[in-house]
Structure 1
Amino acid sequence: MLSNIINPINDLLWGQGQLLIVILLAAGFWFSYKLRAIQLRHFKHMLMVMKTSMQSNKSGISSFQALCTGLSARVGTGNLAGVAVAISLGGSGAVFWMWVIALLGMATGFAESVLGQLYKVRDENGEFRGGPAYYIKLGLNKPWLAVLFALCLFLGYGISFSAMQANTIAEALNNTFEIPNHYSGLVIAVLAGIIVVGGLRSIAKFAERIVPFIGIAFILTALIVTAMNISLLPAMLWDILTSAFGLNEAGAGAFGAAIKNGIQRGLYSNEAGAGSVPHAAAGAAPNPNHPVAQGYVQMLGVFIDTIVLCTCTALIILLSDVHISGDMEGISLTQNAMTSHMGDIGEVFIAAAITLFAFTSVVANYAYAESNLHLFKLDNKIGRTLYTLAYLLMVFWGASASLKLVWSMADVALGLMTLVNVYAIYLLTPTIVNLTKDYQTQLKEKLPISFDETNIQFQGKTENGVWTKQKGD
């Protein structure tokens, strides 16, 4: 029954109409144009912003913690299982379209993160919260649309995505160690519960310690695999390019599959335009204290997630001798590929990597949905307790659910969120452009960069006191 509801929606969003693919490509081109290809022009500055990213205060986490929290949600099944799904259904050409959506998505991710930071609010504990629901409400004065987005977010990050991450962890552990899925689900739920009860700061500290470690370890492993198969690299790159445009023997039928699956799985991995990462961006107290600083930080997150980490998975799969059947395959394809390179230790490594990657996503997903409790005045003990119980139950259920159903639920939630968010950030384009010009003018004139809301024209209003220095900030 659930499939009968989900499948027609997915077909509209991702299927024959390919509505979201068109919208996301259009958004990427739009913001790349309006921001004058900021992802290319200011690539070096994007890296430089991280030099002052470690500072935080009582109101917000540091920019580095916000980056790691954003990467916690991004870096998960999309990087290991999602790339495998894209290649199994769309061929090697899907990798090229993942790169394309990432480069365009860097501009979209910049835009939505700037807004998340500008329109952030303080919760009952005086800590920063924010995201699309808040910039829709404060910037566009459309509370009904804000509520719609928040409900989609609860469906996605509060329910579907964490279930899907748990499903991938359980599948990997079952493939490698034959651990029953329901046992894995119980352990995941308990461990996640221990971390998330501490709120955003606890999750950010966890992400800050774990994400850099597992990211570097995975990159080094992919480099070793590439070095072992260096003679195959030119042919693999050529196959990616020819397959991306349907120029190889597979023909035009594979061309459409490559585009669809590359963009769909690329979006799922880097989340640019989906409206998720602005929640992490809003939670930060950036240095320099300007909304655009978080735009640069989260733009880097898109680059690391897809251009770096997804490419690592693609290298591991495409440089192996495993057979790609054309049927939907998830983490098992990545595990089999790694086994072909390194033997049984390769399968164990991927099981460990996906467990850590996906688990960080599970806890970050909680933070995103929890940020929206403030919108409904539920950021209190009762509201958080009820939400936490529902979230942990879905984590446990997801470990034993079918792969196809869980991915389909995640696709619907991501699609609905994206429709609302892209519409909102498009309407808020003048604000994004004005803020970016203000930041870049100060940068060009070598002034100390700061944000003065009285000197910049922006839509709607910010919450009182958020951009005013308070004791302890």
Structure 2
Amino acid sequence: MDALIAVTDVINTYMYTYLLVFLLIIAGAYFSIRTRFVQFRYFKDMFSALTEKRHVDGSDAVSSFQALMVSTASRVGTGNIAGVATAIAMGGPGAVFWMWAMSIVGAASAFVESTLAQIWKVRGEEGEFRGGPAYYIQQALGKRWLGVVFACSLVLCFAVGFNGLQAFNLSSSFEYFIPGFRGSMAAFGLAVILTMFTAVIIFGGVKRVGVLSSVIVPMMAVVYLGFAVVLTIINIADVPAVMSLIFSSAFDFQSIFGGFAGSVVVIGIKRGLFSNEAGMGSAPNAAAAASVSHPAKQGLVQTLSVFIDTAIICTCSAMIILLFYVNGNPGDLNGMPLVQAAVEHAVGPVGIYVITFSIVAFAFSSIIGNYFYAESNIKFIKNNKVVLFVFRVGCCIAVFFGAQSNFTLAWNLSDILMGIEAIINIFAILLLGKWAMAALDDYAEQKRKGLDPVFTVDSIPGLPACECWHVKREELEHMERIKAAEAAHKVAEGILRD
């Protein structure tokens, strides 16, 4: 175990310190400049795009709003709680600032990757759309082998790395209640129970996944955010001290340059990527599912999702923890135990049960959501029932061992697999980004003419062949158009009926 931790630690350090940190910053800055800071210029349009009517001729297509909920549900997980706690414990309070900075810069990358996913999405038999980096790498770059490599990296990242880490975070929330929990029979028993619940859901089909994504995650997000906001209001007098702590640590010379691999900047960027997934290539899988009239619309919506994740949810977590730093003594606590101690210090033992329940719900729903992303890429590689069965068994094994893993090993494996996926996707969007920017120019031109932007393949001269976007504006008027609210109501009725 110690040897594996040492090896993964070295790989993790070199991957982020000498490659990925600079790639993320360069890509984000490049796309921000080339799009003339789309994340700010079209902030208003991000909200108007949410009311986009669904342009469908099949029952399974989803609206722009529903696609936002799917991608936000995948982003909102223990990364917003444990990830923030780990960033603060290892990099200092200033890591929060660099998470904010990464979300602003990375938002442009999120726009580009999600717009590309929309352009090169494919259509299913029931009207549903599928897509993502594997699809735009295959169609736009003409390299299926690289698409398969990316799909394999995503499967390993989500099914093994992220799910193992989510299982670890879930189990670590019980360390507060059971002394000597890690390595005990209690940890083994919890791993068995968690694996059984995971198996019931993933072998039960997509509808069970949908129930968790559309009901449990939003409910727990509201509870968690409400809890954080109330806690902040109660301690409003300490908020200036918290902000001072963040900014003084963020720009402290020793924190930035003293051992750069473990500096506040690197840790903030790593945890920011784990939380908001901007440029990583995961959210485009959800973005491609939306039925919209123009790819740039869903690109803008997914840019908003990055802000929701980091500016709102991660900031709430940071406030809970840093109020403890201002008024308490965090000691050497890290991860979930740090969050629990912060909550107990603020509101007493009752808060422990609220936060633990939130952690368990977030972690379990993230395990299922991660599986959904991974399954779609398994089908891209090989749509075979035997392969799918073996994959599902492998997911359960990853959850079982992840729940009993070591803190450092769990985070190292997750970071390494996430890094591999992000590197492939960043190079792909740097090569294909010009098409996303051309789509944005087309969107802007139609807006200037007072039109509701509609995209067709001939909107961009020389665009590599794509399966969709052959329907003209006038033909859309004869297709079914359902408002996002009506579509969501229809989905809810289906869930209740099942």
- 1:221 corresponds to: 227
Within a 5 Å distance, the mapping from 1:81-230 to structure 2 comes to: 81-123=82-124, 127-176=128-177, 180-197=186-203, 199=205, 202-230=208-236
Within a 5 Å distance, the mapping from 1:243-262 to structure 2 comes to: 243-246=249-252, 253=258, 257-262=263-268
Q: Which deviations, in whole Å up to 9, do the C-alpha atoms of 1:2-55 show, x marking residues without a partner?
A: 43543332122124x2x1111101111111111111111111211222223778
Counterpart-to-counterpart distance in 1, 2:470 and 2:369:
24
**Bigger mean CA deviation after superposition, 64-73 or 52-61:** 52-61
Counterpart-to-counterpart distance in 1, 2:5 and 2:125:
40
Tell me the TM-score normalized by structure 1: 0.91
Within a 5 Å distance, the mapping from 1:345-384 to structure 2 comes to: 345-378=350-383, 380-384=384-388
Whether the 8 Å CA contact 2:61–2:127 is kept in 1: the answer is no
Q: Which of these residues, 278, 294, 297, is aligned with residue 298 of structure 2?
A: 294
Tell me the TM-score normalized by structure 2: 0.87
Q: In 2 relative to 1, CA 423–467 (structure 1 residues): closer, same or farther, beyond 3 Å?
A: farther
Residues paired across the two proteins, number: 466
Whether the 8 Å CA contact 1:69–1:204 is kept in 2: the answer is no
Counterpart-to-counterpart distance in 2, 1:6 and 1:39:
35
Q: Which deviations, in whole Å up to 9, do the C-alpha atoms of 1:385-408 show, x marking residues without a partner?
A: 221111122112211111211111
* Aligned-residue CA RMSD (Å): 2.6
The offset of 1:448, in angstroms, is 2.9
Counterpart-to-counterpart distance in 1, 2:290 and 2:204:
17
- 1:76 corresponds to: 77
Amino acid paired to 1:455: S
- 2:313 corresponds to: 309
Residue 385 of structure 2 is aligned to residue 385 of structure 1: no
Residue 47 of structure 2 is aligned to residue 40 of structure 1: no
**Bigger mean CA deviation after superposition, 146-155 or 93-102:** 146-155
SS in 2 for 1:188: helix
Whether the 8 Å CA contact 1:120–1:466 is kept in 2: the answer is no
Amino acid paired to 2:5: S
Counterpart-to-counterpart distance in 2, 1:372 and 1:143:
13
SS in 2 for 1:36: coil
Within a 5 Å distance, the mapping from 1:359-438 to structure 2 comes to: 359-378=364-383, 380-438=384-442
The offset of 1:293, in angstroms, is 1.7
Structure 1 unaligned regions, length at least 5: none
Amino acid paired to 1:29: A
- 1:279 corresponds to: 285
SS in 1 for 2:174: helix
Amino acid paired to 1:20: L
**Bigger mean CA deviation after superposition, 19-28 or 352-361:** 352-361
Q: Which deviations, in whole Å up to 9, do the C-alpha atoms of 1:413-469 show, x marking residues without a partner?
A: 110111110000011111001111112222232213322112223542213688698
- 1:9 corresponds to: 11
Q: In 2 relative to 1, CA 45–423 (structure 1 residues): closer, same or farther, beyond 3 Å?
A: same
Amino acid paired to 2:278: A
Residue 342 of structure 2 is aligned to residue 337 of structure 1: yes
- 2:240 corresponds to: 234
Q: Among all aligned residue pairs of Structure 1 and Structure 2, give the percentage whose two residues are the same amino acid.
A: 38
Whether the 8 Å CA contact 2:371–2:395 is kept in 1: the answer is yes
SS in 2 for 1:92: coil
**Bigger mean CA deviation after superposition, 391-400 or 115-124:** 115-124
The offset of 1:267, in angstroms, is 0.7
Whether the 8 Å CA contact 2:164–2:398 is kept in 1: the answer is yes
Counterpart-to-counterpart distance in 2, 1:465 and 1:244:
45
Structure 2 unaligned regions, length at least 5: 482-498
- 1:452 corresponds to: 456
Amino acid paired to 2:318: A
SS in 2 for 1:462: coil
SS in 2 for 1:457: coil
SS in 1 for 2:59: coil
Amino acid paired to 2:36: R
Residue 329 of structure 2 is aligned to residue 323 of structure 1: yes
